[in-house]
Structure 1
Amino acid sequence: MSAEVDVLLQEAKESIEAAQNYRSELQQRLHGLNQARKQVRGSSGQAREVLRRHFAELQAAATRLLTERLTTLLAEVDAIEADSVKPLDDCQSLIEHGVGQADELLREGEAALRCGLGEKEDKLGSFTKKAMHIQLDSLPEVPALVDVPSVSAQLDDSLLGLLRDRVSRHGSVSSHPPVQIEELQERPGSILVRWCKVDEDFAAADYRLQYRRSGSGGSQYEDGYIGRDSEFLVLHLDPHTDYLFRVCARGEGRTEWSPWSIPQTGYTTLAPHEWCPGTEGYILSSRRNIALRNDSSQSRCPVLYSKAPTYFCGQTLTFKITAAGQIDRRDSLGVCVDSQKGAESLQRDQAVCISTNGAVFVNGKEMTNQLPAITVGSAVTFDMEVVNLFPISNNNLSEGGNFKLRVTIGSGNREVVFDWLVDQAVDCLFFGCSFTFKICCWCFSFFILTETSL
């Protein structure tokens, strides 16, 4: 009986645990539904506000433009009227003056006719002289109606049709942005952002990526990339810090950007690539990603290593040479298993490197294959992937290692591929450089470009 009770008890416990898990899953789904509903309602409210504000601004701008145009046209009518009426007013004044003279002359003539015989001769003589002086046969010219302006307004009724057509096609509403962020991959001190189109009918000419710190204390969004590519590596990010990323697109032949994608949160746990500070003979940039050979040192400098083993297999490490002076065949740059203190060259055991003359060294031995010499503007890439793990044996030890990495070094338009045997399994490596002469000033910057599948 007790065995049956134990079985029932165990089944009850399992059912309770299953019910708890079931409830937890349902609660998570409810939370997801609430988030989805919040996104729909929140984005709809924002869209309504954007539409109202935009069309209110358009209405105000259109009213202002129409008022300004009406004022301009009325001013033109006023100017034509004033210029045209002035000579008519002058002619009217002249005629009215003539009418006044004629009225006065008529009164004098009638008075001369009514006066007595004793004064009639003098009055009539004076009247005749005055009439001759006025020149009663000279009349001012009055312009014909066809010769004076007849002001009219010409209005193109097609404007309303054009406006109606443009307004009917102005603006659009979509349920999803045309592009969305597809993937966020962490890199040392950076994040690789990939995005894709979700609206196949949208012909994108350019993409625009923005990012900012997440949280209440986050900064404003800033542009990270504008161009035709569908991925971009955002550099100089603080590890273990959430960042928000969003992307939009611009259609072919358009000037406005599409709506932003739904922001995605990403972060990197990998420390950024940095040169180790305090190494004699080298000056570092503020971010410690650029090294300059200091010409104050008269003797050969030790190897400048990375601050930590931050290079992982499956990634591409790129050195960019931005300045150069006199070179030496012992000068080199590459990757190594450890950071040996006091070493003067990377052309040693447990390291692979390329010399400035293009020679490739593996564990201190020069290969027969050679790459182009490194000059200003050169970019040298290192790609590594794990080939396999060997069990330790005498044969392996005679070969110098029991862990094999396949290394690809590229420089210019050429590359060499070889297998590198190291003494122990490694998942991260140091990088370094070494240069000889004080007049040599090699600068390096580096960043992860792509990821290679293992």
Structure 2
Amino acid sequence: MSAEVDVLMQEAKESIEAAQNFRTELQQRLGGLNQARQQVRGSSTQARDALRRHFTELQAAATRLLSERLSALLAEVDAIEADSVRPLDDCQSLVEYGMGQADELLREGEAALRCGLGEKEDKLGSFTKKAMHIQLDSLPEVPALVDVPCVSAQFDDSLLVLLRERACRHGSVASHPPVLIEELQERPGSILVRWCKVDEDFAAADYRLQYRRSGSGGSQYEDAYVGHDTDFLALGLDPNTDYMFRVCARGEGRTEWSPWSVAQTGYTTMEPHEWRPGTEGYIVSSRRNIALRNDSVPSGCPVLYSNAPTYFCGLTLTFKISATGKPDRRDSLGVCVDGEKSCRSLQRDQAVCISTNGAVYVNGKEMTNQLPSITLGSAVTFDMEVVGVVPLNNDHVSDNVGNNVSSLKLRVTIGSGSREVVFDWLLDTAVDGLFFGCAFAHAGWKVLVF
């Protein structure tokens, strides 16, 4: 009986544990639903506010423009009226002056006719003489109505038609932004961001990626990339720190950007690639990702190694040349198992590299295949993957690199320009990470690693 009770007790505990797990999962989903609801309601509120603000500003601007146009047209009417009335006023002054002279002459003539016989001759003589000087047959010319401006206002109904057509199509509402962030992949001291279009009808000409540090100490969004590509490697990021990323697009022939995508949080746990400071012959930048070969070493071809073995298979290591010096066959950019200062060259055993003349070396031996020469702006990439392991004493070997592996075969791809070489590289011992390095015989070379 006790055994049955024990079994029932065990089953009850398992059921309780399953119920707790089930409830926890449901709570997490409920939290996800709440976040989704908040996003829908929050974005809807923001969209309403944006629409009201935009159309209020548009109405104010349209009213201002129409008022300015009305004022300009009224000013034109005022100017035409003033210019047209001025000669009419001048003509009216002449007519009124002539009428005044005529009235005065009429009064004198009537007075002369009414005067006595003793004064009549003198009065009539004076009147006749004055009438001759007035030129009663000379009348001022009054313009005909057809020669006088008749001010009118004309309106083009096409403006209202155009406004109606444009207003019906002005603005749009979308349930999703036209682009979204598809993937965030951690890299050493960086994050690879990939995005894609979700609106097939949207013809994107350019994309714009922004990021900022999240959390209470977060900064403002800043531009990381603007261009045609749909991926970008954000460099110079602090490990184990959350960053918010968002992307938008600009349509063909448009100047305005689309709405931002929903922000995505990304972070990297990998330490950044850094050059080893304090190496004679090289100056390293403050972030230790840029190295400059100076002339402090008069001769030889010193090697600058990475500060730690931070390159891992499955990732891409890139060297970007931002300044060049005199090339030398001993120059090298590559990857090696160790970073010992005693190793004065990358063209040696347990290392793969490319020289500035394009020659590729595997374990110190030059390959027959050759890549383009390295020049200003060149980007050299190293990609590696594990293709084989050799176990000790035929023990079982997992996919992960372990202590029971005596040798490791890597498939290496080195790319430069539009060409690449692919070969297998056999390591004598299994390693978790690899060092990278550079070697230049002459000063002036500057290389960025990421």
Q: TM-score range by the shorter chain?
A: over 0.9
Cα distance change, pair 377–197 in 1 and its aligned pair in 2 (3 A): closer
Range 329-338 or range 403-412, more displaced: 403-412
| Pairing of 1:232-247 with structure 2 (within 5 A) | 232-247=232-247
Q: For residue 287 of structure 2, what is the amino acid of its counterpart?
A: R
CA contact (8 A) 1:306 1:431 kept: yes
Deviations 1:24-54 (A, max 9, x none): 1111111111111111111111011001000
Looking at structure 2, the residues matched to 48 and 323 of structure 1 have their Cα atoms a distance apart, in angstroms, of: 52
- 1:80 alignment counterpart: 80
- 2:334 alignment counterpart: 334
Deviations 1:48-103 (A, max 9, x none): 10010000001100110010000000000000000000111111111111111111
Q: For residue 136 of structure 2, what is the amino acid of its counterpart?
A: L
CA contact (8 A) 1:302 1:343 kept: no
CA contact (8 A) 2:301 2:331 kept: no
Looking at structure 2, the residues matched to 415 and 202 of structure 1 have their Cα atoms a distance apart, in angstroms, of: 35
Looking at structure 1, the residues matched to 324 and 249 of structure 2 have their Cα atoms a distance apart, in angstroms, of: 40
Cα distance change, pair 47–419 in 1 and its aligned pair in 2 (3 A): same
- Secondary structure class of the residue paired with 2:195: strand
- 1:397 alignment counterpart: none
The reply to whether residue 365 of structure 1 matches residue 365 of structure 2 is yes
Deviations 1:330-349 (A, max 9, x none): 22221111111233211222
The reply to whether residue 355 of structure 1 matches residue 326 of structure 2 is no
Cα distance change, pair 371–179 in 1 and its aligned pair in 2 (3 A): closer
Looking at structure 1, the residues matched to 91 and 135 of structure 2 have their Cα atoms a distance apart, in angstroms, of: 17
Deviations 1:143-180 (A, max 9, x none): 11111001000011232222112111111111111221
CA contact (8 A) 2:280 2:296 kept: no
CA drift of 1:413 comes to 4.4
- Secondary structure class of the residue paired with 1:160: helix
Range 410-419 or range 265-274, more displaced: 410-419
CA drift of 1:247 comes to 1.3
| Pairing of 1:24-423 with structure 2 (within 5 A) | 24-300=24-300, 302-392=302-392, 402-423=407-428
- Secondary structure class of the residue paired with 2:262: coil
- 1:445 alignment counterpart: 448
Q: For residue 439 of structure 2, what is the amino acid of its counterpart?
A: S
Q: CA RMSD in A?
A: 1.9
- Secondary structure class of the residue paired with 2:219: coil
- Secondary structure class of the residue paired with 1:390: strand
- 1:450 alignment counterpart: none
Deviations 1:323-371 (A, max 9, x none): 3333333222211111112332112222112233333322233334444
- 2:22 alignment counterpart: 22
- Secondary structure class of the residue paired with 2:120: helix
CA contact (8 A) 2:302 2:441 kept: no
Cα distance change, pair 414–251 in 1 and its aligned pair in 2 (3 A): closer
Q: For residue 133 of structure 1, what is the amino acid of its counterpart?
A: H
Range 311-320 or range 102-111, more displaced: 311-320
- 1:452 alignment counterpart: none
Q: For residue 416 of structure 1, what is the amino acid of its counterpart?
A: V
Cα distance change, pair 203–367 in 1 and its aligned pair in 2 (3 A): closer
Looking at structure 1, the residues matched to 255 and 439 of structure 2 have their Cα atoms a distance apart, in angstroms, of: 50
CA contact (8 A) 1:372 1:412 kept: yes
Looking at structure 1, the residues matched to 368 and 203 of structure 2 have their Cα atoms a distance apart, in angstroms, of: 50
CA contact (8 A) 1:313 1:383 kept: yes
Cα distance change, pair 209–379 in 1 and its aligned pair in 2 (3 A): closer
Cα distance change, pair 376–258 in 1 and its aligned pair in 2 (3 A): closer
Q: For residue 278 of structure 2, what is the amino acid of its counterpart?
A: G
Q: For residue 128 of structure 1, what is the amino acid of its counterpart?
A: T
Deviations 1:82-125 (A, max 9, x none): 00001111111111111111111111111111112222111111
Q: For residue 409 of structure 2, what is the amino acid of its counterpart?
A: K
Cα distance change, pair 169–358 in 1 and its aligned pair in 2 (3 A): closer
Q: For residue 141 of structure 2, what is the amino acid of its counterpart?
A: E
CA contact (8 A) 1:280 1:301 kept: no
Looking at structure 1, the residues matched to 371 and 110 of structure 2 have their Cα atoms a distance apart, in angstroms, of: 128
Cα distance change, pair 372–166 in 1 and its aligned pair in 2 (3 A): closer
Looking at structure 2, the residues matched to 334 and 404 of structure 1 have their Cα atoms a distance apart, in angstroms, of: 17
- Secondary structure class of the residue paired with 2:280: coil
The two structures have a TM-score, normalised by structure 1, of 0.92
Looking at structure 1, the residues matched to 312 and 233 of structure 2 have their Cα atoms a distance apart, in angstroms, of: 17
Looking at structure 2, the residues matched to 255 and 185 of structure 1 have their Cα atoms a distance apart, in angstroms, of: 31
Following TM superposition, the consecutive aligned residue runs of length 4 or more in structure 1 with deviations greater than 6 angstroms are none
Looking at structure 2, the residues matched to 186 and 17 of structure 1 have their Cα atoms a distance apart, in angstroms, of: 35
Cα distance change, pair 208–327 in 1 and its aligned pair in 2 (3 A): closer
Cα distance change, pair 376–208 in 1 and its aligned pair in 2 (3 A): closer
Cα distance change, pair 312–162 in 1 and its aligned pair in 2 (3 A): same
The reply to whether residue 427 of structure 1 matches residue 432 of structure 2 is yes
CA contact (8 A) 1:303 1:342 kept: no
Looking at structure 2, the residues matched to 387 and 352 of structure 1 have their Cα atoms a distance apart, in angstroms, of: 17
- 2:401 alignment counterpart: none
Cα distance change, pair 21–249 in 1 and its aligned pair in 2 (3 A): same
Looking at structure 1, the residues matched to 389 and 375 of structure 2 have their Cα atoms a distance apart, in angstroms, of: 37
Return 5+ residue gaps in structure 2 as ranges: 395-405
Range 223-232 or range 317-326, more displaced: 317-326
Identity %: 82
